[in-house]
């Protein structure tokens, strides 16, 4: 059954796009002027991106070595490349899905004249900055809490940034016990894959830590 879709303009001109498990907050500016109409256009595009990934979900839930090399979908290819760049052979391309969609939405906006773009896909953030644009991004110590522990300033010395967080209590399963693992990279796709790998590696032996195979909790999981 198709997911219900919703697009709402928020205070300050940001746009929220909701579709099934995806909730994006899209902020687009030309200079200092918010562009909610462009945000709404990008929201519509985000639904198409999600549908493309969903169509390939079974394939993208496999390890990269098990996926045909002739795959043509650009989102799927980016997910695969990000996971391969991280070098964790246990990851599937789904480890980069949220960041990849955030990147695609951000690039859609920059290609249409936006000079400052922030796309937050459930804590996986794609940032695009041109000219003298800059943003401040908050860092959380726990993925399931809203409190900000640190902030980092980003500017247009790099036009593309990704800031993503993974950890125990997030939207997906993790093999580790870290409350939050935050990675900053040149793209949200790469940062997403890296944060997932780091969080997965944060295991410690303790009698209070109980591990279970992911498929026992969710038969549809892509975690082996």
pLDDT at position 205 is 61
Containing domain of residue 16, as a range? Answer: 5-217
CATH of the domain at 172: 3.10.520.10
**pTM metric for this prediction:** 0.86
Residues 6+ apart with CB under 8 A from 19: 3, 4, 5, 6, 46, 47, 50
- How many domains, in total, are found in the chain? 1
Residue with tokens 């400052």: 116
pLDDT at position 199 is 85
Q: Is residue 223 domain-resident?
A: no
Average pLDDT, stretch 126-130? Answer: 99
Q: Is residue 135 domain-resident?
A: yes
Q: Is residue 187 domain-resident?
A: yes
Q: What is the pLDDT of residues 170-181, one digit of tens each?
A: 555 555 445 578
Rounded Cα gap, residues 64 and 91, in angstroms: 8
Q: Is residue 36 domain-resident?
A: yes
């Amino acid at each position: 059954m198709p997911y219900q879709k919703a697009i709402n303009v928020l205070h300050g001109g940001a746009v929220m796009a909701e579709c099934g498990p995806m909730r994006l907050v899209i902020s687009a500016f030309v200079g200092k002027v918010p562009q909610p109409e462009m945000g709404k256009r990008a929201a519509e595009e985000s639904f198409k991106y999600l549908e493309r990934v969903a169509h390939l979900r079974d394939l993208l839930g496999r390890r990269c070595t098990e996926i045909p090399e002739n795959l043509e979908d650009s989102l799927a290819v980016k997910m695969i490349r990000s996971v391969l760049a991280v070098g964790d052979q246990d990851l599937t391309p789904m480890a980069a899905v949220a960041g990849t969609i955030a990147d695609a939405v951000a690039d859609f906006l920059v290609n249409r004249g936006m000079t400052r773009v922030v796309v937050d896909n459930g804590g996986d953030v794609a940032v695009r900055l041109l000219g003298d644009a800059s943003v401040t991004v908050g860092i959380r110590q726990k993925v399931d809490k809203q409190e900000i522990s640190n902030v980092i300033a980003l500017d247009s010395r790099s036009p593309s940034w990704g800031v993503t967080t993974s950890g125990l209590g997030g939207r997906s399963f993790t093999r580790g016990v870290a409350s939050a693992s935050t990675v900053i990279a040149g793209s949200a796709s790469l940062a997403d894959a890296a944060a997932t790998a780091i969080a997965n590696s944060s295991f410690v032996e303790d009698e209070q830590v109980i591990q279970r195979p992911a498929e026992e909790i969710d038969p549809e999981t892509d975690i082996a």
